[in-house]
Amino acid sequence: MKIAIIGTGNLGKSIAKGILHSNGATTLYLTKRDTSELAPFEKYGNVKLTSDNIQAVQESDIIIFAVQPGHLAKILEDIKGSLTEKHVLISTAAGFPIQNMEAIVGAHNYILRAMPNTAISVGKSMTCICANAPGQKRMDLAQAIFDRMGHTMAISEELMQAATVICASGIAFWMRLVRATTQGAIQLGFDAKEAQELAVHTCNGAAGLLIDSHSHPEAEIDKVTTPRGCTIEGLNEMEHQGLSSSLIRGIVASFEKINQIKQM
Ligand SMILES: NC(=O)C1=CN([C@@H]2O[C@H](COP(=O)(O)OP(=O)(O)OC[C@H]3O[C@@H](n4cnc5c(N)ncnc54)[C@H](OP(=O)(O)O)[C@@H]3O)[C@@H](O)[C@H]2O)C=CC1
Ligand SMILES: O=C(O)[C@@H]1CCC=N1
C-alpha cells in the first residue's frame, strides 16, 4: 500500500510512526514545506521525504492530509489535477467538512475524514472515521489501515466535532488526570518517577478492565469501594470538589470552541 502524508507535523509524524510500527505501507511519502525536521525518518528504506505534494500524490494510493485546516483548501487545489480513480483521500483536518473538500476536488472522489489521536504513534489511537457517498466503498480499507494503529469507529460526519474533543483533545485531558494523580502520589511519599509509573499503569489497568470485560465504570467502582472505606471517602471528596462536573463542563467548552473555529 502506497501512502502519502501531506503535512507531516505533530499528528502527521505520529501517524507515520504508527504506520511504520505496523508495517502498514510499502512506500510512505512524508511531505512538509521544510522537511529538515523529518530527517529521523530517513533511516527507513520505504520512506520518502519531499516538499512536493503533487509528486507524493502521483506516487501514492492513499493520501492522508494532516495539515492545519487553513492550509487544506490551497493544497487540494494544487493536487486536484493529479487525482485519479485509484486515490483515496483521508483528511484529519479538524472542522473541515467533506462538502468543502468535494467542492474543490469533485464529489466523485473517495473522500473520508479520520480523527485519530497522537497515541497512533504507539498503535493505540481511538480513530473515528466518516466518508462521502463514494468513500463509503473505501470505509473498510480506511478502517483496516487505522485498526492496525489502534481502535476505529465509523461515525456520521455530524459527530466528527464531538469525536475531535473526546478522542483528539481527549489525550490532553487524560494526560492532565494522570499528572494530577502523579502529584497526589508524590505528596503521599513516592518519588516523581515511581509516582508516574503507579499512575500510568493504574490508568492502563482501569481502561483494560472496561475494554476486556465491557463492564460499566460504576460496576468496577463498586468492587473497590469498601463501606466506610478510603475509596468512597476519596471519591466523594472529589465529587464535592466537582470532578465529574468539571470534566463534563470542560468537554462541552471544548466542543463549543471547535464549533466556533470550524470552517463552514
Ligand atoms: N494534534 C492532534 O492531536 C490532532 C490534530 N488533528 C488535526 O490534524 C491537523 C494537523 O495538526 P497538527 O499535526 O497538530 O499540526 P502541525 O502544524 O503540527 O502540522 C501541520 C504540518 O503541515 C505542514 N504544512 C503546512 N503547509 C503545507 C503544505 N503546503 N504542504 C505540505 N505540508 C504543509 C507544516 O510544516 P511546514 O510548515 O514545514 O510545511 C506542519 O508541520 C490539523 O488539521 C488538526 O486539526 C486531528 C487530530 C488530532
Ligand atoms: O486543539 C485543537 O484545536 C486540535 C484539534 C484536535 C487536537 N488539536
Neighbours of 21 (CB within 10 A): 14
- Top CATH class of 2-155 equals alpha beta
ipTM reported for the complex, 2 dp? 0.96
Q: Which atom of ligand 1 is nearest to the CA of 118?
A: 3
pLDDT at 263: 47
pLDDT, tens only, 64-86? 999 999 999 999 999 999 999 99
Are the C-beta atoms of residues 127 and 64 closer than 8 Å to each other?
no
Q: Which CATH number fits domain 164-261: 3.30.390.10, 1.10.287.610, 3.90.230.10, 1.10.3730.10?
A: 1.10.3730.10
- Extract the C-alpha cell encoding 38: 523529518
Are the C-beta atoms of residues 5 and 35 closer than 8 Å to each other?
no
pLDDT, tens only, 94-152? 989 999 999 999 999 999 999 999 999 899 999 999 999 999 999 999 999 999 999 99
Strands 125-131 and 110-115: antiparallel
Neighbours of 34 (CB within 10 A): 7
Ligand 2: which residue has its CA nearest to atom 1?
169
247-256: average pLDDT: 97
169 lines ligand 2 (CB under 6 A): yes
- Extract the C-alpha cell encoding 143: 478502517
Listed in sequence order, the residues at least 6 apart from 218 whose beta carbon sits closer than 8 Å to its beta carbon are none
pLDDT, tens only, 138-159? 999 999 999 999 999 999 999 9
Q: What are the boundaries of each domain within the chain?
A: 2-155, 164-261
Pocket test for ligand 2, best of 164, 167, 176, 255 (most atoms within 8 A of CB): 164
150 lines ligand 1 (CB under 6 A): no
Under the banding of pLDDT at 50, 70 and 90, the label for residue 50 is: very high
Torsions phi, psi for 198 (to 5 deg) = -65, -45
Pocket test for ligand 1, best of 5, 30, 32, 261 (most atoms within 8 A of CB): 32
pLDDT, tens only, 206-239? 999 999 999 999 999 999 999 999 999 999 999 9
